[in-house]
């Protein structure tokens, strides 16, 4: 075990922070950017195969049983070996986190926000190295990895600024003879359980939101993406994070995940992943074991079965087809926001579908480290087999219009697949596949299309293509999703621009990257003080 040195304590100030702006994406058509990414890939490749520790209270812990994280583009390549945390390690992390909470929860907002600003600065400086890590570990293409890293930077910057808003004077009603205020307090120690599909952005967003609010965290990454999570924790340490504020705990759901969510010492659980796991967490969190003095708060983002509706009054069918293909097959369809249902007005079906098929067949499949690849592998062998089973079911429910083949020789590659038309209640039109499979459904008219779009247990994202203003208003009122897009793709939410979170079985509508999000990691305390005749109320209190 080794112990970290004492952290820096530089502060940010609200006045010093500029207005939030989203991090620009990298243009890899520029030779200098292409060269920089290639250099980063070579550098990170040199780190492949190392063993990584747990990080508990600033101490590195090794010597446990390990598991491997593999490169899905080259399935025999182990990118790293990680400790299998135990139940004992979970208790150690809880001890360390609660100890750190005593100090961290009392730090001024300048200190907590300053940590995020410095983390964003370091991440920006090493953007391509973090992107390269995801390219190797989960099979993201250059563009997808770059967008993931940019979003992580955005979360750090946005939540730093939001922390000042929550720490500032809150608007409440004034009354005579009292001084009144509303203050926000951190919850305590929480479990952060992020997914593998946005292994930097979502993980960083969940972690930094909790920490900047004054909480301490036990971070349990997906076993498919522990490497990028470890790198981010190390980056936060370099930025000055005190020991114990974020503890890195790799391991299985049974040995680490369940003990975390079941512990009476866990105050909140922030989760992003499948519906099944999210419901399990919610059920476990609802129990109140002996010694627990609070109701655990669950912040959950789960699945989606997202639809794009293309109406007969759509001006540019080519633009709509491009948006559909991008939404369906970006990161191999492994996004909870991905378009997995295409609902097309029957009046334009025969004209529109050839455009979708043509664009799908034109996509270039290859190992993710190759800059020209547009479609990389799915995350692991289990996912590949599951997706192929859905393709086989879909082939019986409709016609395979594009793709459908699996290429497992070197990695876990599946051709982007379009199947249609299928019935609205077909298996591939109802169940979340989480892969490059698009189910196509014919609609009689726009009202029928909206009914089909809403005919799912999920409610995350959706998009409508039409030039008819009345139909747009109808979609805005009746398309039941947390993120609705008009005449654009249904993926690519930007921090601060498109607060993200869905309805029904898509989760708790937490609106990550929005003004409501930090409040989920805080509790509000109202304070009223009677003012006697000898006292004068402080000016401005309550405004």
Nearest to 301 by CA among 334, 270, 261: 270
Nearest to 242 by CA among 103, 92, 74: 103
Contact 60, 230 (CB under 8 A): no
Nearest to 410 by CA among 179, 39, 5, 77: 77
32 is a catalytic site residue = no
Contact 413, 407 (CB under 8 A): yes
- Count of alpha carbons within 13 angstroms of residue 519, beta-carbon side: 12
Choose, from 156, 216, 336, 339, the residue flagged as catalytic.
336
Cα(109)–Cα(86) distance, integer angstroms: 34
Q: Give CB contacts under 8 A, 24+ apart, made by 171-178.
A: 171/542, 171/543, 172/526, 172/542, 173/542, 174/541, 174/542, 174/543, 177/530, 177/531, 177/537, 178/528, 178/529, 178/530, 178/531, 178/537
Classify 188 in phi/psi space as left (phi over 0), alpha (psi -120 to 50) or beta: left
Phi, psi dihedral angles at 9 (to 5 degrees): -125, 20
For 284, 470, 477, the CA distances from 445, given in Å and listed in that order, are 44, 14, 17
Question: Largest Cα–Cα distance in the chain?
Answer: 84
Residue 191 bridge partners (DSSP): 218, 269
Contact 229, 253 (CB under 8 A): no
Contact 70, 80 (CB under 8 A): no
336 is a catalytic site residue = yes
Rounded to a whole number of angstroms, the CA Rg of the chain reads: 24
Question: What H or E segment, with its residue span, contains residue 423?
Answer: none
Which residue blocks in 239-293 are alpha helix, DSSP H?
258-262, 275-285
Contact 317, 349 (CB under 8 A): no
Residue 512 bridge partners (DSSP): 500
Sheet with strand 50-52: strands edge to edge: 50-52, 74-83, 66-71
* Cis peptide preceding 421, ω within 30 of 0: yes
Strands 297-301 and 268-272: parallel
Choose, from 151, 157, 237, 301, the residue flagged as catalytic.
301
Contact 402, 360 (CB under 8 A): yes
SS3 category, 195: coil
Q: Which residues are catalytic?
A: 301, 336
């Amino acid at each position: 075990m080794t112990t970290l040195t004492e952290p820096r304590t530089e502060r940010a100030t609200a006045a010093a922070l500029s207005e939030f702006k989203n991090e620009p994406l990298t243009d890899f058509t520029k030779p200098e950017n292409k060269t920089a990414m290639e250099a980063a890939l070579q550098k990170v490749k040199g780190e492949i195969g190392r063993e990584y520790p747990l990080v508990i209270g600033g101490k590195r812990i090794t010597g446990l049983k390990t598991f491997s994280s593999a490169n899905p583009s080259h399935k025999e390549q182990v990118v790293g070996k990680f400790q299998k945390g135990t139940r004992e390690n979970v208790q150690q992390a809880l001890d360390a986190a609660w100890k750190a909470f005593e100090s961290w929860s009392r730090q001024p907002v300048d200190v907590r926000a300053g940590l995020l600003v410095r983390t964003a600065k370091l991440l920006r400086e090493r953007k391509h190295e973090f992107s390269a890590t995801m390219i190797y570990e989960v099979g993201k293409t250059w563009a997808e990895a770059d967008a993931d890293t940019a979003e992580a930077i955005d979360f750090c910057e946005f939540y730093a600024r939001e922390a000042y808003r929550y720490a500032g004077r809150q608007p409440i009603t004034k009354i005579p003879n009292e001084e009144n205020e509303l203050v926000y307090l951190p919850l305590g120690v929480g479990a952060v359980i992020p997914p593998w599909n946005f292994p930097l952005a979502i993980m960083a967003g969940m972690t930094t939101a909790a920490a900047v609010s004054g909480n301490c965290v036990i971070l349990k990454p997906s076993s498919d993406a522990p490497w990028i999570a470890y790198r981010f924790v190390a980056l936060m340490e370099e930025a000055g994070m005190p020991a114990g504020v974020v503890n890195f705990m790799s391991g299985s759901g049974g040995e680490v995940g369940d003990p975390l969510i079941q512990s009476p010492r866990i105050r909140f659980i922030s989760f992003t992943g499948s519906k099944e796991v999210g419901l399990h967490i919610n059920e476990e969190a609802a129990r109140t074991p002996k010694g627990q003095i609070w109701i655990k708060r669950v912040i959950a983002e789960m699945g989606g079965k997202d639809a794009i509706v293309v109406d007969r009054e759509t001006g540019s069918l080519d633009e709509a087809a491009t948006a559909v293909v991008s939404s369906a097959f970006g990161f191999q369809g492994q996004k909870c926001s991905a378009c997995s249902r295409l609902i097309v007005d029957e009046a334009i079906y025969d004209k529109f579908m050839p455009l979708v098929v043509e664009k799908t067949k034109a996509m270039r499949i290859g190992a993710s480290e190759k800059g020209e690849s547009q479609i990389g592998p799915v995350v692991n062998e289990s996912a590949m087999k599951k997706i192929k089973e859905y393709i086989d079911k879909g082939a019986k429910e409709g016609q395979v219009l594009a793709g459908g083949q699996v290429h497992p020789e070197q990695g876990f590659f599946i051709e982007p697949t379009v199947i249609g038309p299928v019935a609205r209640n077909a298996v591939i039109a109802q169940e979340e596949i989480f892969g490059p499979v698009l189910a196509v459904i014919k609609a009689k008219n726009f009202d029928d299309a909206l009914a089909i779009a809403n005919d799912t247990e999920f409610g995350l994202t959706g998009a409508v293509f039409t030039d008819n203003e009345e139909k747009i208003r109808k979609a805005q009122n009746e398309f039941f999703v947390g993120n609705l897009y008009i005449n654009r793709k249904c993926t690519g939410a930007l921090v601060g621009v498109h607060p993200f979170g869905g309805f029904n079985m898509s989760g708790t509508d937490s609106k990550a990257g929005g003004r409501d999000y930090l409040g989920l990691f805080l509790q509000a305390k109202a304070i009223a003080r009677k003012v006697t005749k000898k006292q004068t109320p402080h000016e401005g209190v309550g405004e």
